[in-house]
């Protein structure tokens, strides 16, 4: 897999931020689609920002792979939001899951591991599936990093000071992140 440095240099990141600072979110998304093509992906946990980005991506008809890291611990209502978004916007939202079912995982660890060791649980139920779900994708997309263990999340009110494009080298994952909101 190519590293972030091979895909996008520090100079290119600075140039992109100069170009995109103050740009409308849809302009930032279009730039990402033009720059990264089929490598652009979007991770979502179906929070407000993720739903807005899905709306914008559908509006500009961006061919972006949208996915959710399904840990096996999501509320049924969360999965209903996924179904409604797919129906409303005509998009696919893949579920990237661990190989073991939740029942198998809990049997192996004597119960829900997130109670005793949340970092290990997140690694097993999010990081490993993400790595296997994106073997050829070295670029994250808008919303990538909605979980602090996976990447930097911009909190409400921070968006104006956060870079629109940034390199992420966390937990062995190499990607370029966009922050259009």
pLDDT, tens digit, for every residue of 4-22? 445 667 788 788 888 888 8
pLDDT, tens digit, for every residue of 122-138? 889 988 888 775 533 33
Query: Could you give the CA distance from residue 38 to residue 170 in angstroms, rounded to a whole number?
Result: 22
Q: Among 69-78, 95-104, 123-132, which stretch is predicted with the lowest mean pLDDT? A: 123-132
What percent of the chain lies above the pLDDT cut of 90?
34
pLDDT band for 142, please (50, 70, 90 cuts).
very low
**Mean pLDDT for the chain?**
76
pLDDT over 50 at 156, yes or no: no
Where are the chain's structural domains?
Answer: 4-95+134-178
pLDDT over 60 at 117, yes or no: yes
> CA angle 83-86-91, nearest 5°?
155
Query: Could you give the CA distance from residue 152 to residue 143 in angstroms, rounded to a whole number?
Result: 10
| Residues recorded for the chain | 181
| C-alpha separations of 24 from 21, 121, 153 in Å | 9, 37, 19
pLDDT, tens digit, for every residue of 18-70? 888 888 889 888 988 888 887 788 889 999 989 999 999 999 998 888 999 89
């Amino acid at each position: 897999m190519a590293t972030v440095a091979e895909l996008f240099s520090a100079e290119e990141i600075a140039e992109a931020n100069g170009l995109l600072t103050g740009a409308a979110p849809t302009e930032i998304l279009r730039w990402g689609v033009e720059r990264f093509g089929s490598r652009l992906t979007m991770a979502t946990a179906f929070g407000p920002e993720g739903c807005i980005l899905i709306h914008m991506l559908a509006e500009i008809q961006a061919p972006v792979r949208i996915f959710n890291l399904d840990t096996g611990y999501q509320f049924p209502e969360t999965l209903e939001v996924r179904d409604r978004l797919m129906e409303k916007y005509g998009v696919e939202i893949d579920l990237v899951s661990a190989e073991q079912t939740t029942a198998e995982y809990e049997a192996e660890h004597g119960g829900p591991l997130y109670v005793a060791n949340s970092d290990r649980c997140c690694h097993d139920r999010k990081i490993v599936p993400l790595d296997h779900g994106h073997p050829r994708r070295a670029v994250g997309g808008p919303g990538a990093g909605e979980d602090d263990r996976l990447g930097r999340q911009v909190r409400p009110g921070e968006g104006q000071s956060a870079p629109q494009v940034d390199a992420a080298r966390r937990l062995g994952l190499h990607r370029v992140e966009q922050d259009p909101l």
